[in-house]
Structures are given as structure tokens and as C-alpha cells.
Amino acid sequence: MIEEKHRGHDLMHAEMILILFASIGVAQVLLFLWRIKHRKSYQAITLLGMWIIPFYLCVRLSFWRMIIVWSIFSIITLFVMFKATRKKLHVNTPRIVYRWFLWIYQASYALGIIGYLVLLLVFTGLGLLLPVNPDVILETGVTLVFYGVYYGVMGRDCAEVCLDYMSAAMTYTTGGQSLPKIELASNMCAVCGQRIVLPTEDESNSGKIEWTYRLGCGHLFHEFCIRGWCIIGKKQTCPYCQEKVDLKKIFKNPWEKPHILFGQMLDFLRYCVVWLPVILALVQFIYYVFHLE
């Protein structure tokens, strides 16, 4: 029955495939141009889609565990974003923002790795050796991977919004600008706005004083702050003079480099979660208009 219906439709099927690939290609170009020329609107709509669409689907499907976790995450994140978007920042606000989103990033990274290992147990057959139903193991692995990916993307996007507002509120002058802005003192971190205390050898060993890091441009930062600025906030320039930051010099430890790769993977998955369904829906509409089956 199905074969009879589609007999002689080879040309139509080729056209459908051509439309699909052409739509994906054109959409990629348009999204890239939108992101370059109107980054804030692109970022806002993407973040809104990431925040609302999965929650709507979970409500429809009655996934109460996800709804509860989403609600807790949303309440805390909105509170942090509220504090970060004030024109007059509290002295501890940058630290609160970085600590929360760094924790979210690390937790999502850990969940993704654990979920991946759980799925390996299923696909390699090792899960059969455990006194647990394989379906339960598979569901657990998929859930952990989803939580890690979803909240990893959400955390990075929300952190980027917070950083944009905080950067505007903590704008420093580099000496070549005419607008009256804050001048950065030599002992102040441009990321968190707090004083940098250079540790003695005894204090460094005791762990009471934070480590610092000096960029190639000569500006000094708390190591915790500049890592958060680069990884969580997706920034690759000095917060003060906008000189490009070499991430390979900051993350010399090979165990830390996967964090950068994980962040790049999240950027790709954001496209898959938000924009790919929109593109496929548009392709289906084109098929419907031209009566392609």
C-alpha cells in the first residue's frame, strides 16, 4: 500500500531532501548574521526558548521531577540575575554571580559525564551484571545527560547576560577614552571589583589568600574570577583593555581543557534544542504548501 502510494516519487523525494539541506544551510547563515549584527536580541530569544520550551513539554508530559528541578533553578537564577542587573552593584554581587554559575557549570559537567558512563554500561552490556532493570539504567543515563546538557546551556547563557550588565556597571577607563568612567587601580580585580591581595609564601600554602593570574596585557586578576570570565561568561578578552586572552595559557592543566570543549559542545546543542526544531517545522510547512510527500 505504502509502496504503491510512493511509486514514481523519486524526483519528489530528491526535491524534499534538497529543500531540507537548503533550508538548514540558509538558516545557518541567517542565524549567524543575526547573532553577529543583533547579538542581544538573538541571545534573548534563544534564552527564552531554552527556558520555556522544555518546561512546557515537561508540563504536557507530567515530568514532575524535571518541573521541580527547573523551578528551583529558575527561582535562584532569576534572583542572581536580578542582583546582577542593578545599576549600582553590591560589592559581593560579582562573587555571588560567579560562584552560582560556576557551581551550575561544574554540576552539569559532572552530570553529563556520569550519565555518559551510565549509558556506556547499557550499550556495552555491562548493565546486565547489575541487579537493576536495564530499562531503569537506560532511563537514568538519559536523564542525567539531559540535565547536564540543559542546565549547562542555561547556566552559560544566563551568566553571559549577567556579565554584560555587570561589565556595563563596572566599566573602567583605559586612558584613551573621553567619557568619565572608573579608573582601575593596580590592586583591583576588573572582574569582581574587589581588592587583590598578593600572598606571601606562607599565606599561599595556607590557602587563606586567593591565587592571582596576570594576563599577557599585564593586568592582574583573581584566578577564580578570570576563569569564570573566560569559561562561564564565554569571554576571550581582557575585562579592562579588551586584549584577546589566550585560553591555552590559563588552562595549562590537561584535565581542565575538557571544560572548554564541554562549553563549545553546549553552544552546538543550544542550536539543536532551540533552532533545529524551528527549521524542521518550517521545512514541513514548505512540504505542505507544495504538496510534497
How far apart CA 238 and CA 220 sit, in angstroms, is 10
Per CATH, the number for 177-250 is: 3.30.40.10
Determine which helix (DSSP H) or strand (DSSP E) holds 15, and give its type and residue range: helix 10-37
Q: What whole-number percentage of the chain has pLDDT above 90?
A: 10
Where do we find the cell 537564577?
77
The secondary structure of 43-112 as a DSSP string is HHHHHHHHHHHHHHHHHHHT-HHHHHHHHHHHHHHHHHHHHHT-SS--TTHHHHHHHHHHHHHHHHHHHH
How far apart CA 246 and CA 236 sit, in angstroms, is 7
For 256, other C-beta atoms within 10 Å of its C-beta total 13
Whole-number Cα distances in Å, 238 to 33, 208, 229, 287: 25, 26, 9, 48
Give the pLDDT confidence of 60-114 residue by residue, as tens digits: 988 899 999 999 999 999 999 998 888 777 777 877 888 888 888 889 889 988 9
Residues in CB range of 257: below 8 A, 6 or more apart = 251
pLDDT tops 50 at residue 206: no
Global pTM reads 0.70
Instruction: Parse the chain into domains and list their residue ranges.
Output: 20-169+256-293, 177-250
Q: What is the mean pLDDT of residues 193-201?
A: 66
Give the pLDDT confidence of 130-176 residue by residue, as tens digits: 788 888 888 899 999 889 888 988 888 888 888 778 777 666 544 44
Task: Take residue 5 and report the three cell numbers written for it.
Answer: 502510494
